[in-house]
Amino acid sequence: MDIVLQWLLLTAAVAAGWLAGRLGSNGRRTRKTISDEESVRDRLQFLFTNYSDQAVENFVQSLAVNKDTVSLHLSIGSHFRLKGETERAILIHQNLLARPELPTRFSPQVTLELAKDYLNAGLLDRAEALLHQLMGDRDYGRKSAQQLIEVYQQEKEWGKAADVARALTKGDADPGMFKVLAYITCELAEESLRHDDRWAAQKLAKEALDYDQSCVRATLILMKLLIRQGRFRDAANQSLKVFDQNPEFGPEAVDRLMRLENEHGDVGRLGKKLRKLYENYPSTSLLLALVESVERSLGRPAAIDLLRQELEMRPSVRGLLRLVEMAGYEKGMTTDEGRLVSRIGHLILSNRPVYRCANCGFSGQQLHWLCPSCKQWETVRPIQGVEAE
């Protein structure tokens, strides 16, 4: 009985709003239709705030389908999808497509919304089928292609994703799509590396840089290939190109560079390069690399002085832990206080994320080139601050 009453009240409220709009403005015949986006938002806000989802769903089932109400149906379906109630969104959009009175020109739009529902629900095969139907549509073909790329990314069908992205770049100079294509091409390069096809991996990595010169991942793949070829000096120089592409990823390049030099080179010789980089792009990773280089070339006392001086200007937990460690060894002992500081510092860092998505805020301790949350490329980056970089 409660649901019936809610349904009646809801219908009366919408009808009253419609009637007021119809008869308002001193009797003028001109009026805004319900397809007006601002009007739809206002009405939906009233519905979702004052009535239960079940009442709203009952109302949708009884709501007429015509050119003035399609936007309302779509907005309610989108509302349920965003709330995580994907099954309800699917039912609303399926019901809308099945209604014979749905104007033909709205069919592609409803189909796209249903494909998004399927994608959100993990029904990738159904989403893919609907998106393929829309690929040639004048108004929704491009949006469908973008959604299809997301389907292939989830399925890790990188070849198919590259084909769709490549087709999109031919008709549009959107830099965002070129970045997507560059990172998809990097996935193909990584696949080639896993099969030890170095020639194909190199070709694909260079192709990725042709699509997007700022593609950090392609540069790091080329560095990896140079290491496999035994060209360690060239690999080191390759890693430094990351600072010209995107300095925020500098710590990734520095970590790889220091591992390379410790295994195959001479960390001490990097002093001048690291100092210049640190002056231009200060970060904790660069500071610690510079301190290690100074220690190798000039000794521990000089390295401690450098680290202490820099920490006074740019404090960081990682830098402090390194200073406690180096100072303790220099004095030939480790004090109880030093061990306590070290233990607490490591506990702090172990529970802190290292990377965060600049787009959606997703965070974690592992670098993802494709954000697991918002599905955007190259938005997950090293965190800056006292407890990070």
Say if residue 93 is exposed, middle or buried (CB neighbours under 10 Å; 0-12, 13-18, 19+).
Answer: buried
The structure tokens listed for 219 are 């540069």
User: Are 337 and 325 in contact, with CB atoms under 8 Å apart?
Assistant: no
Which pLDDT does position 55 carry in this prediction? 64
* Regions of the chain short of the pLDDT cut 70: 1-63, 171-173, 268, 329-342, 345, 386-389
Which pLDDT does position 177 carry in this prediction? 92
Which pLDDT does position 46 carry in this prediction? 61
Its pTM stands at 0.77
User: Are 59 and 14 in contact, with CB atoms under 8 Å apart?
Assistant: yes
Which pLDDT does position 387 carry in this prediction? 61
Kindly report, residue by residue over 165-192, the tens digit of the pLDDT: 999 888 666 888 999 999 999 999 999 9
